[in-house]
Amino acid sequence: MTITIVGSGFGGVKTALLLAKNKKNKITLITNNPDFQYYPALYGTATGYSHLQAWVALDVIFKNISNVTIVIDTITKIDKTSKQLAGESGLKYDYHTLVLALGAVTTYFGIEGIDHYAYGVKSADEIKKLKDQTSALIARKQVVETLQVNRGASVKLLDQLVRQLPDGVYLKSVKQTGQTVNIVGLAQSNARVSTLMRNLDASPYLQNAQLVEIKNVNDKNQQRINEFSLNVSLKGLEAAPTIKRPVAGATTTATDQSAREKVMQAITK
């Protein structure tokens, strides 16, 4: 018997596997997706685990099954009179016995707002949308946590700069990036810059003062003076905790392999 199956969800794949046990059947599986997606495991992909735990290539599932042919295309029209399928690719497919296993898509029944605030996990696009939103929320949360933890950092930093600044040194700019502070200023001599760096290292809130650049310039009175740039790190101020989440990767891990074996068992049993 010649059988054409449209759709590679659980129903389509399972039907193809069962019918393929009879070697007299010649089966064509038409799908727009080269992978089988196991819905019960998709929540893991949505929460940060590897997609390899829920995605299995159709070529892998039907690797040793010679009477199943996989065709990647999207069916746009069914002509029941001529028993012919039209594909988005422009190709035509004749069929004798047709099985439609089109699966399911997320629907919101026209309820306003649900499509914006609710997230499905039935496709790669839906999962990406959910993960992007989750990552954005975590990033916002970490910004708030950082502000709460370091809300007194600016006051302490300015206080320490005033306390540790030796005579003959004047600051032009102070810029903080993360835990590093860049200081640009003017000094009457190299020795005064060295004194500033020693003072900063002795501070209870600053450490690792490193000179970036020092050069001779003229001040407004055309007197020679040293312009310097140095970096110093903050200490005693804890950074906001980083939330660690599993990172999906292309490498198949033992966990991925075990999960895929369970998917294969669910399909083939």
Tokens representing 236 are 């005693």
**CATH entry 3.40.50.1000 includes domain 153-234:** no
Pair type for strands 2-6 and 26-31: parallel
Q: Containing H/E element for 183? A: strand 180-187
CATH dotted code for 2-130: 3.50.50.60
Locate CATH 3.50.50.60 in the chain. Answer: 2-130
Under 8 Å CB-to-CB from 131, ≥6 apart: which residues? 46, 48
Question: Could you give the percent of the chain with pLDDT greater than 70?
Answer: 86
Distance separating alpha carbons of residues 85 and 5, to the nearest angstrom: 11
- Is 240's pLDDT higher than 50? no
Q: How many CB atoms lie within 10 A of CB 201?
A: 13
Judge contact between 195 and 226, C-beta under 8 A: no
Distance between CA atoms of 171 and 175, rounded to whole angstroms? 11
Q: Is 228 exposed, middle or buried (0-12, 13-18, 19+ CB in 10 A)?
A: buried
Against a cut of 0.85, is the pTM above it? Answer: no
Rounded CA separation 239/176 (Å) = 14
Residue 23: pLDDT band with limits 50, 70, 90: very high
Q: What pLDDT is recorded for position 122?
A: 74
Range(s) within the chain of domains with CATH label 3.30.1360.100: 153-234
Q: What's the token pair of residue 246? A: 């599993």
Contacts 24+ apart (CB under 8 A), 125-131: 127/42, 127/45, 127/46, 130/46, 131/46, 131/48
Better-predicted residue by pLDDT, 55 or 62: 62
Q: Which amino acid is at 68?
A: V
- What ranges in 2-64 are assigned the alpha helix state H? 10-20, 39-46, 58-61
Question: 6 - beta bridge partners?
Answer: 30, 100
**Which residues are 98's β-sheet partners?**
4
Residues 87-127 have pLDDT tens digits of 999 999 999 999 999 877 778 888 888 877 887 777 778 88
Closest CA to 170 of 208, 226, 213: 226
Helix segments in 36-123, DSSP class H:
39-46, 58-61, 114-117
Instruction: Give the H or E element holding residue 78.
Output: strand 75-79
* C-alpha 61: how far from chain center: 28
4-8, 88-92, 104-108, 234-238: least confidently modelled range: 234-238
Task: Count Cβ atoms within 10 A of the Cβ of residue 210 and give its class: 0-12 exposed, 13-18 middle, 19 or more buried.
Answer: exposed
Whether the per-residue pLDDT at 249 is higher than 50: the answer is no
